[in-house]
């Protein structure tokens, strides 16, 4: 069984590439077990979280108690169950299957199945803010009601990642339950005159100059006059050889590159001449992040699907590299993404920003320290 650091123990469902796990580890948690069925994301998770037991199966086919027993984990040791539910079905940019007919929107039932079986001290469910409005917030209500019936005090936080040191405006919803006094939302650390938001420049301007289609994984950092504190933090464990990985860029067609040339910083598809956008049936349905060129001196727009968002580099005529997107998500440079280029891109886009996850984990740790809880098995006997 892998050796784990001391500290409160968490299990990560729908772990993806590991953004939630990393944030909870940064706050002091030990990740004992993670579930992720996608092979590419699972490979990335395994590379970066070697001490966690990783189960690469569909959660719908897993019996919780058996899963813990196979991993050598005691029920009494589970402090937190964290879960980043697949978000595509809840996203407001999803106009086709954003409804309760989407089977992926019912995976929350498996989370509740794990909660009932494991009875952790705390439950954290993360998703896009659009979960509030999809079907009138039905999924949120079901999660909250089911957990309350099992003795959890519930709270919901809608947080903006930029408020917690992530160089990106990204709203996420956290549904948090604990066996003790309900938790309060974490206090923002950034976005004030004394501690402003981290900008795109402060996040990525030291990364290599690249061309469209670049597929050279490791390149030298760009020489800059001074590194920001954020860049120093991201490079802390990986800058000894002055090489950075993840310099993978989508190879765009000449037509797409021609469109890029019309887009200035802070502008999007709306400034591209109509005769260059004839490939779209109805351009008016495009969202604001489509063909958006980032601005140097403010946080990024949402890092999403690379082909649907098409975020453009502030000064280079191309889309973002995997490493640039990872920086904007607050993944450190020593965090490696594995798989084909598009698989790596999607892993980054789907991830929870680790620094945002850390802010929530800090609140959870304080709550666990104050709750003086009986063990989960004792709770089960009294139920």
Q: Over the stretch 97-132, which tens digit does the pLDDT of each residue have?
A: 434 554 555 788 999 999 999 999 999 999 978 777
pLDDT at 134: 57
Greater confidence (65 vs 282) lies with 65
pLDDT at 242: 87
If you average pLDDT over residues 49-72, what whole number do you get?
93
Q: Over the stretch 330-370, which tens digit does the pLDDT of each residue have?
A: 999 999 999 999 999 999 999 999 999 999 999 999 999 86
pLDDT at 188: 98
Instruction: Assess whether pLDDT exceeds 60 at residue 28.
Output: yes
Which entry of 87, 122, 147, 214 is annotated as an active-site residue? Answer: 87
Tell me, yes or no, if the pTM score tops 0.85.
Answer: yes
pLDDT at 131: 73
From residue 91, alpha-carbon distances to 145, 155, 172, 330 in Å are 22, 21, 11, 21
pLDDT at 133: 67
60, 55, 57: which is closest to 70 by C-alpha?
Answer: 55
pLDDT at 99: 45
pLDDT at 383: 35
CA distance 240 to 266: 35
Residue for token digits 């890029």?
A: 260
333, 202, 312, 232: which is closest to 266 by C-alpha?
Answer: 312
Instruction: Assess whether pLDDT exceeds 50 at residue 376.
Output: no
pLDDT at 101: 52
Q: What angle do CA 338, 357, 235 make, to 5 degrees?
A: 55
172 neighbors 166 (Cβ within 8 angstroms): no
CA distance 60 to 110: 6
CA distance 93 to 289: 10
- Name every residue whose Cβ is closer than 8 Å to that of residue 257 and which is 6 or more positions away in sequence: 212, 317, 318
Greater confidence (164 vs 380) lies with 164
Q: For residue 81, count other CB atoms closer than 10 A to its CB.
A: 23
pLDDT over 70 percentage in the chain: 87
* Mean pLDDT rounded to a whole number for the chain: 89
Lowest mean pLDDT among 69-73, 248-252, 341-345: 69-73
Where does 9-191+352-382 sit in CATH, by number?
3.40.50.150
Confidence band for 297, pLDDT divided at 50, 70 and 90: very high
pLDDT at 279: 79
Domain ranges of the chain: 9-191+352-382, 200-350
pLDDT at 371: 53
355 neighbors 166 (Cβ within 8 angstroms): yes
Instruction: Assess whether pLDDT exceeds 80 at residue 56.
Output: yes
SS3 readout for the chain: CCCCCCCCEEEEECCCCCHHHHHHHHCCCEEEEEECCCHHHHHHHHHHCCCCEEECCCHHHCCHHHHHHHHCCCHHHCCEEEEECCCCCCCCCCCCCCCCCCHHHHCHHHHHHHHHHHCCCEEEEEEEHHHHCHHHHHHHHHHHHHHHHCCCEEEEEEEEHHHHCCCECCEEEEEEEECCCCCCCCCCCCCCCCCCCCCHHHHHCCCCCCCCCCECCCEECCCCCCCCHHHHHHHCCCCCCCEECCCECCCCCHHHHHHHCCCCCCCCHHHCCHHHCCCCCCHHHCCCCCCCECCCCCCECCCCCHHHHCCECCCCCCECCHHHHHHHHCCCCCCCCCCCHHHHHHHHHHCCCHHHHHHHHHHHHHHHHHHCCCCHHHHHHHC
Greater confidence (374 vs 249) lies with 249
Greater confidence (62 vs 279) lies with 62
91 neighbors 289 (Cβ within 8 angstroms): no
pLDDT at 378: 36
Q: Over the stretch 276-293, which tens digit does the pLDDT of each residue have?
A: 988 777 766 778 888 999
**87 flagged as catalytic:** yes
Greater confidence (139 vs 51) lies with 51
CATH says 200-350 is which class?
alpha beta
If you average pLDDT over residues 203-229, what whole number do you get?
96
114 neighbors 171 (Cβ within 8 angstroms): no
- Name every residue whose Cβ is closer than 8 Å to that of residue 251 and which is 6 or more positions away in sequence: 212, 213
């Amino acid at each position: 069984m892998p050796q784990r650091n001391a500290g409160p123990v968490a299990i990560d469902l729908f772990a993806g590439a590991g953004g939630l796990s990393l944030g909870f580890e940064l706050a002091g948690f030990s990740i004992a077990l993670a579930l992720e069925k996608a092979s590419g994301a699972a490979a990335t998770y395994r590379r970066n979280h070697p001490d966690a037991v990783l189960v690469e199966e569909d959660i719908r086919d897993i019996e919780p108690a058996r899963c813990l027993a196979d991993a050598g984990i005691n029920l009494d040791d589970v402090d937190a169950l964290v879960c980043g539910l697949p978000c595509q079905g809840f996203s407001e940019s999803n106009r086709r299957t954003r409804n309760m007919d989407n089977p992926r929107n019912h995976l929350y039932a498996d989370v509740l199945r794990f909660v009932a079986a494991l009875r952790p001290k705390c439950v954290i469910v993360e998703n896009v803010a659009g979960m509030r409005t999809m079907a009138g917030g039905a999924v949120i209500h079901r999660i909250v009601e089911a957990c309350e019936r099992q003795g959890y005090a519930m709270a919901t936080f809608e947080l903006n990642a930029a408020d917690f040191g992530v160089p990106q405006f990204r709203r996420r919803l956290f549904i948090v339950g604990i066996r003790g006094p309900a938790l309060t939302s974490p206090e923002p650390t950034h976005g004030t005159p004394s501690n402003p938001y981290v900008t795109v420049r402060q996040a990525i301007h030291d990364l290599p100059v690249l061309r469209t289609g670049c597929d050279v994984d490791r390149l030298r950092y760009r020489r800059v006059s001074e590194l920001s504190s954020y860049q120093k933090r991201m490079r802390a464990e990986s800058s000894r050889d002055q090489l950075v990985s993840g310099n993978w860029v989508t190879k765009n067609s000449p037509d797409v590159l021609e469109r890029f040339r019309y887009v200035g910083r802070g502008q999007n598809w709306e400034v591209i001449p109509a005769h260059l956008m004839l490939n779209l049936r109805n351009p008016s349905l495009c969202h604001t992040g489509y063909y958006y060129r980032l601005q140097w001196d403010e946080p990024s727009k949402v890092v999403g699907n690379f082909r649907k968002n098409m975020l453009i580099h502030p000064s280079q005529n191309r889309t973002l590299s995997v490493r640039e997107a990872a920086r904007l998500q607050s993944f450190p440079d020593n965090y490696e993404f594995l798989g084909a280029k598009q698989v790596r891109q999607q892993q980054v886009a789907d991830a929870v920003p680790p620094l945002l996850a850390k802010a929530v984990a800090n609140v959870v740790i304080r709550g666990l320290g104050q709750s003086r809880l009986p063990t989960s098995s004792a709770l089960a006997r009294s139920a």
